[in-house]
Every structure is written in C-alpha cells, then in structure tokens.
Amino acid sequence: MIATVTLNPAIDHNIEVDEIRFDDVTKMKNSFMQPGGKGINVSRVINLLGGPTVAYGFIAGREGGQLSMLLAEEGILNSFIAVKGGSTRVNVIVTERTTGKQIRMNGEGPRVEVEELELLKDRLLRFGKGGPCAVSFMVFAGSIPPGLPKNVYSYLIEEVQSIGIRCVLDTDGDALKYGIKAKPFMIKPNTYELERLVDKKVEKDEDVVEYAKAIVNMGVEIVAVTRGGKKAYLVGRDFVFEGIPPKIKVVSAVGSGDAFVGAFLYAIYMGKTLEEAFKWGMAAGAATAMVPGTGIMTLDLFGEMLPLVTVSRIE
C-alpha cells in the first residue's frame, strides 16, 4: 500500500463564473466540492490508477467529517486523527471562464497540539509495520498546521523510516529545509521550491541538475524537479534523467505536482523502471493541468499524454 500523510488537508470549493465583478453580484455557473491537500491529491491519483492507498492526517469540525466522507465516496481509505482546535480548512477557488484567471483563497486549518501529533505518529507506526495493509511508501506532503514545529516532517520521517518504509517529502520553505535532514527516499520540488531550498536562482537547465545532485549528496536518494512546461529532471546518485513534457493548453496547474508523485510511486510499486515511472509522473502532471479547478486527471487524458512524454538518460 502507498500511504499519504497530509497534516493540513482541505476541502476545495471550486466556483466557476463567466466574469468576476468586484463590488457587484457575480453569478456562479458551476460549484463543486473536492477533497484537497497535497497528500490527499496523491492518494486520489493512485486510487484512480487502480492502486492501493490510505490517507492519514488531521481533521477537525464538521468540515473534517465532510472531507472524510468525500474521500470515502471516491473509494479511498482514510484514517484521520480528529483534533479539537478549529475546523478543517476550506479553500475557495474562483475561476473566471472568459479569461481562465483564478482567485485562490486558502484557509489556515485547525491548531494541532503535540499530544495529537503523537497519536498520529503511533498510528503511522502501528499500521505501517505489516499485515494486510503493509506500507511500501509513505508520502508526507503539504503545509504544516498551526501548533506544530517546523521540523515536524523530519521527526515523522525518521520514525517511519526506522521501520523500513520509504518516505517521500513534498512541501516547501522551512518544512522542506528541515525535512530533508531526515534523508527521505525522495523529494519533489518545483522550480521555485528548489530555489528556496538551495537559496539560489535556477537560470538554466544545468542549474537544476547541479542543485539536485547537491541534495542527493546530503542523503536524499531521488530528487525529482518538475518545471511546468519546461524540461523536468530525475536525479539520483548514479543517474540523471531528462524529461520533456507534452505541449498542452494549461487549464489549471493546481495538483499537477501531486499527480506526478502519485503516478511515479504507483509505477515503481508496479515494478516499472525509473525511466518508465518518470514518464508516468510527467504524463499524470500534464493530464491534471488540463482539468479545471482542483480536479485531478482522467484516465483518458493520462493515456493520451503518456506516449507524448520523452525521457532520456543524460548521465
């Protein structure tokens, strides 16, 4: 099973309008709710591809119950810790149909206490060890909720890797800087996250490879750097793969990186090579960018994108 841990999950409320009118009534043309958060999106993609997954994290209030129900409706196992402080955040995404522009308003999320973090850690270790739901990979993704320290991912990854589970980290800023100290199996920054991590500008393709190699030398096994419509790179101690994404019309880039992680890990889980898994990840990212709002890819779009991705080993 591939588990995901989203410390600050969300409900994404997607609203579509013809035109955003400030200081006036704007009529909604479409409105729908979806489970959200980076790790949640990873689980949704794995589930769509037919893989076994379980989503862990924190929920709070009525919104937390609604999130759990939305995941159950998609057939995704979830095992959340219910916390007392506040409610699960609701993100509002307003898309203007005439221009494709979006207004994104993200909630803060509930406050999580250290005692509640310990409950989550114990659950991850108890259910990750073995049995019918044994975990091969555990993905830690997204922002840190109020109340938890910046090194929370490092703490959890060290604990989980101590029982032999390979961990993937997909976050940003201080959470990523502290998190890589635990030497996770893989990280997946985009261009801006990589720049913030190494505190340097990415000005050319060679910079991506150089900075990714430096992170590998710190103990991370695989660094996957996605860059929207530009070349992506998969870097390890003994290899560098370069990937060229298909040319598409981007509808919404939200969740594309999460789709990459989900498809990449599921491909590895299925015994695919790193090169094949890289193609799967890039195809999933492109397919998700073609879907409105915070939606994830469809299987048809994924199938269309897969043969259009070009991957080559350059080192």
Residue numbers annotated as active site: 258
Q: Are strands 53-59 and 77-82 parallel, antiparallel or unpaired?
A: parallel
Cα 141 off chain centre by: 5
**Coil, strand, or helix at residue 45?**
helix
Please list, in sequence order, all residues whose beta carbon lies within 8 angstroms of the beta carbon of residue 15, skipping any fewer than 6 positions away.
28, 30, 31, 92, 93, 94, 95
Q: In the block, which residue shows the tokens 């794995």?
A: 46
Can you tell me the distance from the alpha carbon of 214 to that of 177, in angstroms, rounded to the nearest whole number? Answer: 13
Nearest one of 115, 102, 81, 84 to 12, comparing CA atoms: 102
Cα angle 8, 13, 17 (rounded to 5 degrees) comes to 145
SS3 29: strand
Gap between the Cα atoms of 253 and 291, Å rounded:
8
Q: Are 226 and 279 in contact (CB under 8 A)?
A: no
Q: What is the 3-state secondary structure (H, E, C) of 98-116?
A: CCCCEEEECCCCCECCHHH
Residues 175-186 as b or e (16 or more Cβ within 10 Å = b):
bbbbbbebbbbb
What is the spatial order of strands in the sheet that 240-244 belongs to? 77-82, 53-59, 2-6, 137-141, 166-170, 186-187, 222-225, 232-235, 240-244, 310-313
